[in-house]
Structure 1
């Protein structure tokens, strides 16, 4: 009954009657509340016709069109505990042709859960996923409820990058016999690309693209097709990385943070054979969604990276040859920013967990 009431609220109030404004380096921007009343939203995917999908961590996938929200049937069962549940949603470039969407989620396993990827076809009315199949599952998973990672990014060649956290067990990130603590690369059907860096090497998972990651919860491509990720450090040491094939990004051997106890992590901040971050934060901002902007509506922001902060309630804008945080976009609406994406029209959409809402950013006027 409670869920029915919530959906009725969406139906009547999906679009705000008036946009709010914020001041930025690019001038005033309008923030339009696209939907509210959400329960722990995790990801948003904008469809070519302006409708959109939202995941809620407890396992609901919502389809919103013309101010009306529908709970999509056919979503895989999730292990909704701790940080696990229904996580990312990705709308591939060829959605118009086959209406397929990709979901990441914590899949129940014996004694725990593991990060998994499913694909299904969205019905024309948005009410159901059909032909749903799990194309990848990280095994063995773990009994804890932390660090699932779970961002899905479609690469320019049609393969998919998926971020997988260390599941709260730091040593996993250096163990290449496990996919935990890595960025993996798979084909659309879940098979392994033959040009992955570790294909054919014994005792190494062939899906691994890069490793030594703690918990990457933001990921996107830039205009050159390069992958960028944001990942949570421990106490300090949040990072922006550009994962390259076969590279080791250091966790937990090197880090710019400390353990929550205050104790030193690993061997320091650098070690031969391990990559340095493009940027790190200390103190931690708890970075989540990440976007590399096209410049369509704000040409001055072309190529800039936008990252949501769960801890300090703002959107960080990163720029420069030596990447740095150059601006904080902040207002009541940016409370615990979980996801941030660019829509086909160049507008920027983000999820505010604290507000239980999705907002759309456009230039003022």
Structure 2
């Protein structure tokens, strides 16, 4: 039996060995007690503040985890495994559309339903690219449907031009989302072209009737989308980076304008998003996946900030949609970082901090000196 910090192996006869785990020290026991106490207090607070909703959320999460785990273990060609993602995303889209005609009190439950269905679809996916496409597509469809709802409301209030432009922009964004979900390049090109033209036209209307700065920003955004489409079709990587940097400048201008009119939170967030987009453009221009990946992660976190602002303004469905888009951005950034091998290098560096360093290697010259010294000592002894 070996006594030490590692596992102990004791022979009990018959060729069998019994393995003992080391005992947990007093610090480990205290850590476990404190973590358990924190978990119990959290459950108590949630049950007091949210009551049955917290119970339903916990049950829904458990059902999602167990159900998706079971589906992932099915054969890939099984009908349930092949069509489950499409069914879940279809139900999520139906829930988003239902919020346009349902009473306002249904918005909260519908938003949580959308998030749950999209989470289940993502957990069924087997690769990171599919996760990014699912999240980005679903988020764009959600944002597009909400824009279409705002356009319909504008048309009902008599704002014909503004309502039509907002509705068209929402339809273009919805087309982007469907293109990502179906992996269809023609749909993506249609959405980019229509979205760019409608955004530029909406910017002209905003510049004439409301604000010159916001109008110019929207015009620049629309032109940038069309330019990005052309650059992608031509395969001009540096041009894509320049377009991204140009869009970042427009975003920074929008942030400064927001700070000027007193909207500190949204203005600061726009500046942060513009900075991340600028870094992403630089990364694409210089073909640096690590730089572009880190910037895309930052953009995703910025979209999460928009979701938090929407939640504070009691815009539940917008918060859920921005959260889904944020998850897509973070996933895409992590994928780029993984392809740049930055994560692997960080992992090796962290592992090196937890093990003993290798003994220093002696050079050839040092070895020769040592051998000559040994020969001299042998001759002296003789």
> Highest relative contact order (Cα 8 Å, sep 6+), 1 or 2?
1
Q: Same fold (TM over 0.5)?
A: no
More helix by share: 2
Give TM-score, length-normalised by structure 2: 0.26
Higher Cα Rg, which structure: 2
TM-score by length of 1: 0.27
Higher percent of residues as strand: 1
